[in-house]
Amino acid sequence: MPSLHSQSAVAASFGNSASFKMAGGLLEGIRRYRERSKAEDALSSAIQNNDQKLFQSAISAFDSLESRHKLKIFSDMEKELTHLSGFPFEKEAKVSKITMLADFFAHASKALPKDERGEIDPKSCKTSVRFLAKILNENSFFRSDDPLHQRCACACANALFELDYGNRDFWQDRLLDQSTQALTIKKLLEMSPDAEGANHGWDLLKENLVKLALAIAKNDSQTKVSFFKAMLCEKDADILRPVVATLSHSQRVPPEFIDGAYHLSSFSFQDRILAVNALLPRYDGQNSRVRYMLNQIGAKLAQELSAPGNTRDHLEGLEALSHLSSGGITPYSGKTLAKILSRFMHSLDAHEQFHPLLFSIIGRSKDPELLSEAERMRAMRIKFLEKCLEYADERQFDASFELISLYNSGLRYLEPMLKAVGTDMKDILEENYGDDEKQHETEKALSVMVHLAQCGIQVDGISFVFQGQEQSIEAGDAPLKMSRKMAKVDAHE
């Protein structure tokens, strides 16, 4: 059994050890408190002086602290943000401070407590979220063309993403705001699905595809490829339409693009036109699957164009058929094209030119029925235009330009008619010489004369001089001057 002396020695030893541990813990607490104070002072100084180098050093010091000390600094920085949130873009110094504070909150978000779903507990960042959102919703003094203001807005938006701020209306506004659009798109693209498998970021982008498809395509996030692949598998025309229209201009498209564009063609006349313009550049003359798709779409378009209706609204469809024909795809008969030709002809009035795309399609056809119908309709049109030349108004000039276009397409027998047109234009120039009130009519007549000269038709009493800085038209005793610029503009009307 130990002696009383030895028991006292053990007790003394134990007491000294407990005291030592208590003292050691106190010293360690003081040391960590000083580390926190040092890190917070460095952070405050960096923000106050907009010192990026000191800011990075303060962030490193912050990362080495215990969780409770990180939360204390986070709370103190929230108070600083509160003081700066009134008229945040009023002064440049204030904008810089807010930007650096937002960068801090984004970084420090990793230190905040999480709930059972792994998301940040809203209570731990309630103040910072409130005032960061307030700053972004504040329009006073904000200038979208100021890089400093743009940087601040993006920093605040990024911080709110990192803090798991989930107000849907708020992010909708950020998507439509040019200052934060690119960052918001990137963040939403890269969001992971939640515990139930829903991807709320992609859902929000999907709802705004009509406005944002091009911006998403230009975004530097590589996740956009996966996003567009998923959208091309959708069966909703409102989703497919903007995606197909946007990717049609891309050199490289995902494999899903072909099926997506073809499915889109099943919805409407305009969607079929879009599908043709999307698929035709992907047809190399050998891909039988794409050729089948284009044949199916083209046949449907031709059927619609030949049916009763206001064909003037269908010129885009006619252009799509022309593109298909140029690509060696003609999924329609000569009889169908003859119907289209007839309907377009009868829809025209005196102020409209016969659409040249029709002749472009007809020119590649060998169908005798179609060619016969085309000649008959063209003769009717020329007779109609000849009648329009008798009117002393816009119809006269419109008919003149269309006859010149027909002459240039190969109808050389129109030369005598066009010489008569030139004589009429000469008379207008002489009659209107010096009359400012008839300037528009004079310019139209002058433009017709330029077009006639360019296609080699000479008119008695008219000569063109192309020398020096001006061009002149000698019309009887009335020389008229026009600048090179005017002749150039008129020649391309």
pLDDT of residue 431: 87
At 310, is the pLDDT very low, low, confident or very high (cuts 50, 70, 90)?
low
Q: How many CB atoms lie within 10 A of CB 270?
A: 13
**The last residue of a domain, from among 146, 165, 184:** 165
- For residue 438, with 0-12 CB atoms within 10 Å meaning exposed, 13-18 middle and 19 or more buried, which class applies? middle
Rounded to whole angstroms, what are the CA distances from 318 to 117, 276, 306, 323, 404?
56, 12, 10, 9, 23
Give residue-wise pLDDT tens across range 177-206: 999 999 999 999 999 876 565 778 999 999
Residue 295 lies in a domain: no
In the predicted model, is pLDDT for residue 343 greater than 70?
yes
Residue 199 lies in a domain: no
Region 228-251: what's the mean pLDDT?
95
Stated pTM of the model: 0.71
With pLDDT > 90 as the criterion, what percentage of the chain qualifies? 53
Residues 6 or more apart in contact with residue 241 via CB below 8 angstroms: 210, 264, 271, 274
Residue 268 lies in a domain: no
Region 56-64: what's the mean pLDDT?
95
pLDDT of residue 183: 97
Q: Write the secondary structure of 95-155 as one string of H (helix), E (strand) and C (coil).
A: HHHHHHHHHHHHHHHHHCCECCCCCECHHHHHHHHHHHHHHHCCCCCCCCCCHHHHHHHHH
Residue with tokens 């006639």: 452
Residue 406 lies in a domain: yes
In the predicted model, is pLDDT for residue 348 greater than 90?
no
pLDDT of residue 437: 84
pLDDT of residue 468: 40
**The last residue of a domain, from among 165, 199, 215:** 165
| Spatial separation of the C-alpha atoms in residues 419 and 411, rounded to whole Å | 14
Higher pLDDT, 436 or 150: 150
In the predicted model, is pLDDT for residue 18 greater than 70?
no
Higher pLDDT, 9 or 348: 348
Q: Round to the nearest angstrom and report the end-to-end CA distance of the chain.
A: 121
Region 454-471: what's the mean pLDDT?
61
With pLDDT > 70 as the criterion, what percentage of the chain qualifies? 80
Residue 428 lies in a domain: yes
Long-range contact list for 483-490, CB < 8 A, 24+ apart? 486/443, 486/446, 487/450, 490/443, 490/446, 490/447, 490/450, 490/451
Domain that holds residue 66: 29-165
Give me the residues paired with residue 473 across strands: 464, 480
pLDDT of residue 140: 81
pLDDT of residue 478: 41
Q: Average per-residue pLDDT in the chain?
A: 83
Does an H or E element contain 463, and which? strand 462-467
Q: 355 φ, ψ to 5°?
A: -65, 120
Residues 6 or more apart in contact with residue 194 via CB below 8 angstroms: 117, 200
Contact 277, 298 (CB under 8 A): no
Higher pLDDT, 20 or 217: 217
Long-range contact list for 375-379, CB < 8 A, 24+ apart? 377/341, 377/342, 377/345, 378/354, 378/406
Lowest mean pLDDT among 176-190, 197-211, 313-327, 479-493: 479-493
pLDDT of residue 27: 65
In the predicted model, is pLDDT for residue 211 greater than 90?
yes
Contact 347, 310 (CB under 8 A): yes
Give residue-wise pLDDT tens across range 22-50: 555 566 667 778 989 999 999 999 999 99
Region 228-255: what's the mean pLDDT?
94
As for how many domains the chain has, the answer is: 2
Region 217-239: what's the mean pLDDT?
95
In the predicted model, is pLDDT for residue 323 greater than 90?
no
Higher pLDDT, 39 or 480: 39
**The last residue of a domain, from among 165, 194, 209:** 165
Residue 82 lies in a domain: yes
| Spatial separation of the C-alpha atoms in residues 219 and 214, rounded to whole Å | 9
| Spatial separation of the C-alpha atoms in residues 337 and 331, rounded to whole Å | 11
Does an H or E element contain 46, and which? helix 4-49
Residue 129 lies in a domain: yes
Residue 260 lies in a domain: no
pLDDT of residue 284: 87
In the predicted model, is pLDDT for residue 466 greater than 90?
no
Higher pLDDT, 342 or 225: 225
At 135, is the pLDDT very low, low, confident or very high (cuts 50, 70, 90)?
very high
Lowest mean pLDDT among 151-165, 229-243, 324-338: 324-338
